[in-house]
Amino acid sequence: MKIVDVTTTTFRYISNTVRDSEGHGHPGDPHEAKQSLLTIKTDEGVEGYCFGANPAVIESLVKPLLIGKDPFYREYLWQMLRERQRLNLGSLSDRILANVDMALWDLAGRAVGQPVHKLLGAFRDKVPAYASTMCGDDLPGGLATPEDYANFAKWCVFERGYPAFKLHTWQPPYEGAPSVKRDLEACAAVREAVGPDVDLMLDPFHYYSREESLALARGLEKLNYLWMEEPMAEHSMSSFVWLAEQADLLIVGPETAEGKHYARAEWIKAGAADVIRTGVGDVGGITPAMKCVHLCESFNMSVEIHGGGVGNLHVLCAMGIPGRYYERGLLHPFIDWEEVPAWLNKRDDPMDSEGFVHVSQ
């Protein structure tokens, strides 16, 4: 089987998410937005798909590499793309590697009639989810106050059935953000609202100082939170070593730090996190996300998967050290997450009444 074409189709849809000046999404008025679909075509008619690829980069850097190749050579193709990043770091991001790798896994699954997690060697078919909120805002009744978070957490846990809840708190440009005091007030309100037994997590502002991060961790320990993510810039690994040594709370990372499985190996060796984080979009696809999982398993390190989406769901179902939760969202009181995206026939992360997300079969 050979790859004969690589195309991207760009289409418009109506979005109700707007970006603030720092790039975080919030509910907003419906407006036209763009989405794209990457398609890898073979001479045998089998195709593989992934949403979200950058058309210009696919056309100029990816397509020339893929044409004529056997699509089952995912490892070879991924390594070739990784090598090309050396001279194209500004444009050939890990996100694009992820799009291509996911389309190749999708193609392989379609070619042999098996879901991707079974090609990898399956471990399970469903994963408990946590409700992962959007960042804090100033929308009345949205996520503007600690009470808003508490009310939303109650709805997520007791009405919708999520077994766990994660706050993304206030970040610039919102007034008064960031604030360790206000973050802890929101976290305390949520703990009060859901009771002592629900797993809670925090993803705070990612440019806090060392001492602010430690204050957050100490506060969350008292509230019996499960973990905290990325309170500081992750390029300073030493800061995370410092934090992990002093905090009893589980510190989860790295998330946005570049470096794929290589970076995660260094974090493990340095003792910079208690639980390692990876995700197909962060490290360049299912192929390297599984490398991260296997690395972590070798050191008895747990792995939590960053972000939702069908690629992460298949990784979660193929992991022998099962990640504790699937991250569902980003959720907000004003957004109906169960609504099917305009470009899908059904949601790709359906959650049942007991809080489990099921992988496609």
Q: Which is nearer to its own copies, 224 or 298 (CB)?
A: 298
Q: Binding to its own copies by residue 239, rule CB under 8 A? A: no
Total of chain residues touching its own copies, rule CB under 8 A: 37
Q: Does 86 bind its own copies (CB under 8 A)?
A: no
How many Å apart are CA 358 and CA 361, to the nearest integer?
9
Stretch that binds its own copies, among 112-120, 142-150, 177-185, 230-238 (CB under 8 A): 112-120
Q: In which residue are the tokens 């190996």 written?
A: 265
Q: Determine the interface stretch with its own copies among 39-47, 70-78, 143-151, 171-179 (rule: CB under 8 A).
A: 70-78
Considering only the stretches 23-31, 35-43, 190-198, 287-295, report the one whose residues sit in contact with its own copies under the rule CB under 8 A. Answer: 287-295
* Cα(308)–Cα(279) distance, integer angstroms: 9
Contact flag: residue 49 with its own copies (CB under 8 A) = no
User: CB within 8 A of 316, min separation 6: which ones?
Assistant: 124, 127, 305, 322, 323, 326, 359
Supply the minimum distance, in Å, between the C-beta of residue 36 and its own copies: 25
Q: Does 176 bind its own copies (CB under 8 A)?
A: no
- Minimum CB–partner distance for residue 297 and its own copies (Å): 6
SS (H, E, C) the chain: CCEEEEEEEEEEEEEEEEECCCCCEEEEEEEEEEEEEEEEEECCCCEEEEECCCHHHHHHHHHHHHCCCCCCCHHHHHHHHHHHHHHCCCCCCHHHHHHHHHHHHHHHHHHHCCCHHHHHCCCCCEEEEEEEECCCCCCCCCCCCHHHHHHHHHHHHHHHCCCEEEEECCCCCCCCCCCHHHHHHHHHHHHHHHCCCCEEEEECCCCCCHHHHHHHHHHHHHCCCCEEECCCCCCCHHHHHHHHHHCCCEEEECCCCCCHHHHHHHHHHHCCCCEEEECHHHHCCHHHHHHHHHHHHHCCCCEEECCCCHHHHHHHHHCCCCCCCEEEEEECCCCCCCCCCCCCCCCCCCECCCCEEECCC
Nearer residue to its own copies within complex by CB, 123 or 334: 123
Binding segment for its own copies among 113-121, 183-191, 223-231, 236-244 (CB under 8 A)? 113-121
Please report whether residue 110 would count as binding its own copies according to CB under 8 A. no
Residue 207 is a binding residue for its own copies (CB under 8 A): no
Q: Name the segment binding its own copies (CB under 8 A); options: 40-48, 117-125, 188-196, 323-331.
A: 117-125
Binding mask 119-158 for its own copies (x = CB under 8 A): xxxxxx----------------------------------
Of 294, 334, 356, 360, the residue at the interface with its own copies (CB under 8 A) is 294
Closer to its own copies by Cβ: residue 189 or 303: 303
Least distance between its own copies and beta carbon 154 (Å): 35
> In the set 299, 341, 343, 350, which binds its own copies (CB under 8 A)?
299
Q: Tell me, residue by residue from 259 to 278, as one string, x for binding to its own copies by CB under 8 A and - for no binding.
A: --xx-xx---x---------
Q: How far is the CB of 319 from its own copies (least distance, A)?
A: 7
Question: Contact at 8 Å (CB) between 238 and 209?
Answer: no
User: What part of residues 243-262 is at the interface with its own copies (CB under 8 A)?
Assistant: 261-262
Q: Are 325 and 129 in contact (CB under 8 A)?
A: yes
> Which residues make up the interface to its own copies (CB under 8 A)?
70, 72-76, 78-79, 108, 112-114, 118-124, 261-262, 264-265, 269, 287, 290-292, 294-295, 297-300, 318-320
